[in-house]
Structure 1
């Protein structure tokens, strides 16, 4: 069961999150090739090759990145971890971690978490383009939940059941920002271009655009009734994520009119930007990705390695000091116990043995009672029994008759 939004922390403003699917062959080769090109051009400072990170000491790049040696930092079996570091606005460092793992229904699923040293500016370059090559019809830019393309126009299926499934997956399972745009009339060539191209660079690979044909408005709103939102005729709406947060309202993130004539949809761009900047709770699995980025980071600079080693030395010294104090306390307690036992034994040997307590003398009344009972027993033994003659009592002589 999904966790309640009130129990989930919001996504930090410094974090950039995305999850997608690579549907082509050799995604690892595409990643490494692009990372090397960006490092050679100076677009990124350094990156971590997962094949080299398996060594106990890793040194990718001139800055001396290294493996932390922490077993918890290793990826799950079948999962590859790529790390990259670059700077934006000249001085702000961005650290990003991309994991690549086999998908449940084919292809490779990737999860990307990036964090900057200050709140994220959507005008900064997309972290996705720091790992993946930005090419037409690329294999990597598919949403993991819906399979639809990121930053492209995705027309809703004409079949109502298939449409409901797509929108349900978009609301419940996608990390992307899903927007539904209704075409009041069939647009021209300029109106058929994706709206994501007009978004800031940091949003282009986080948006899935669904297009509803003019005749699909009623079916779309019927499919969205469980989400509690509706698409205005000729307008657009940013769908709530899962879990939705209490502050979300359809009025705040819907646009009454979107002109599909090639002009910039400023109202829709504002709605998407406000949606991303709002305190949304973590989607399923996203909090683990951010935790791994912070706690299992291995692409360290020389200064970071030195600080890390100093922290380890301080931690070991503190643990050794605690063990020494514990040993001393144990030894003092043992010595005190031995001394107490010796004193007890000495005192026990010097005290004479006490005789057993004498019986209490019987009371005079009890002695008199016992004497009377003894006399009464003697009197009973002297009393003649019936049929016996006392000595000297002559009975009639029956010997001669």
Structure 2
């Protein structure tokens, strides 16, 4: 039975991404890069939160401005390391709807070097900034595409090579995308002979890849207005030129109203309600808000105390009136007792015994005697 829970929608001001760092300790990559970006004036400030005992993640905050006056606040939560690497989740929110031309929030935390190890997809062995060739085995190909079509955090695109591309065509399309898309898109490449197998795997999702073209997969949950035709591109020229039609399809898909990915509501709540990197003005505003909140609570407690005192006084007055009224009423007549309780019990027992004797059936001997008498 499908769930009736309504998932909150992704606000237009929010930018979300999720990935995995597979190199050495990610903290040792983040700390110097954040400081380097602050020294250069790329970001306004950054903060690493103290890690409470028993927590499973380390949190970094950063803030910067775009378009000169629009403040962006971002929070990156980094999980503890494992054999598969360290998973990270990044949430950024701007003071107005997100513009894909703004810098990617990932580059405000991670170094944008080609050899950086942070750009792996969280749930699969895929890259965010590179080409991901589809497996040659049909079974593996179907497994990869079905997982991609259900992906929640990343946007997956399948590109079919009409013919084997040259050196320019073998470069990832991510480098040509707007910054706001560059680190959220996973590019899958299908070789010329794989088109039939690709479309066979995708038919259950109602999408097809045109020969020599591309399609943006629906994801999970898919946008309510997802249109496979609007998300398909007839031709993608793998010659190093800007894929304008594909960029338009991706932009429409990202801009469409979509529910938050699973787990993202908690990430967004933490960004908004557990924010620590405050300016002096913001700290003063927060303190004023706290003072106002405490004053309001104190006033409510005082009102409650006064109401309780008034109610108690009225209750005492009502009780006093009741007692006065009861004292003025004549006492009800008392029933005269006839004998002691023991005598009453003895008389009751005697009546019960007489009644039982009257109702007792005759014994068998008495019955026989009666029958003999009648025969004589």
Tell me the alpha carbon deviations over residues 244-301 of structure 1, each in whole angstroms, 9 at most, x when there is no partner. 1231111001011111111111111111111111112222122221121111111111
State the alpha-carbon separation in 2 of the partners of residues 105 and 167 from structure 1.
25
What's the counterpart of residue 245 of structure 2? 267
What's the counterpart of residue 395 of structure 1? none
What's the counterpart of residue 378 of structure 1? none
State the alpha-carbon separation in 1 of the partners of residues 202 and 126 from structure 2.
18
State the alpha-carbon separation in 2 of the partners of residues 89 and 3 from structure 1.
42
Q: Which has the larger radius of gyration?
A: 1
SS in 2 for 1:144: coil
What's the counterpart of residue 236 of structure 2? 258
What's the counterpart of residue 22 of structure 1? 21
Tell me the alpha carbon deviations over residues 305-324 of structure 1, each in whole angstroms, 9 at most, x when there is no partner. 11111111111111111111
Contact 1:231 1:254 in 2 (8 A): yes
Contact 1:21 1:147 in 2 (8 A): no
Larger displacement relative to structure 2 (337-346 or 307-316): 337-346
Larger displacement relative to structure 2 (167-176 or 327-336): 167-176
Greater relative contact order (Cα 8 A, min sep 6): structure 1 or 2?
1
What's the counterpart of residue 108 of structure 1? 86
State the alpha-carbon separation in 1 of the partners of residues 2 and 104 from structure 2.
29
What's the counterpart of residue 146 of structure 1? 124
Contact 2:102 2:180 in 1 (8 A): yes
Contact 1:177 1:239 in 2 (8 A): yes
What's the counterpart of residue 10 of structure 1? 9
Contact 2:213 2:235 in 1 (8 A): yes
State the alpha-carbon separation in 1 of the partners of residues 224 and 180 from structure 2.
26
Tell me the alpha carbon deviations over residues 188-245 of structure 1, each in whole angstroms, 9 at most, x when there is no partner. 0011111111111111111111000001111111111221111111110011110112
What's the counterpart of residue 358 of structure 2? none
TM-score, normalised by the number of residues in structure 2: 0.85
Per-residue deviation, 1:146: 2.3
Q: Return the match for 2:214 from 232, 236, 252.
A: 236
SS in 1 for 2:28: helix
What's the counterpart of residue 66 of structure 1? none
Contact 2:224 2:258 in 1 (8 A): no
Q: Return the match for 1:226 from 204, 226, 229.
A: 204
Per-residue deviation, 1:137: 2.2
Unpaired stretches in structure 2, ≥5 consecutive residues: 337-376
What's the counterpart of residue 85 of structure 1? 63
What's the counterpart of residue 282 of structure 2? 304
Q: Return the match for 2:146 from 155, 163, 168.
A: 168
Per-residue deviation, 1:147: 2.5
State the alpha-carbon separation in 2 of the partners of residues 329 and 281 from structure 1.
46
Contact 1:179 1:210 in 2 (8 A): yes
State the alpha-carbon separation in 1 of the partners of residues 214 and 122 from structure 2.
23
TM-score, normalised by the number of residues in structure 1: 0.80
Contact 1:229 1:250 in 2 (8 A): yes
The two structures, once aligned, show a CA RMSD in angstroms of: 2.0
State the alpha-carbon separation in 1 of the partners of residues 236 and 99 from structure 2.
25
Larger displacement relative to structure 2 (283-292 or 117-126): 283-292
What's the counterpart of residue 204 of structure 1? 182
State the alpha-carbon separation in 1 of the partners of residues 235 and 325 from structure 2.
100
State the alpha-carbon separation in 2 of the partners of residues 240 and 85 from structure 1.
32
Contact 2:159 2:214 in 1 (8 A): yes
What's the counterpart of residue 360 of structure 2? none
SS in 1 for 2:73: strand
SS in 2 for 1:150: coil
Per-residue deviation, 1:41: 1.2
SS in 1 for 2:320: helix
Runs of 4+ that moved beyond 6 A: none
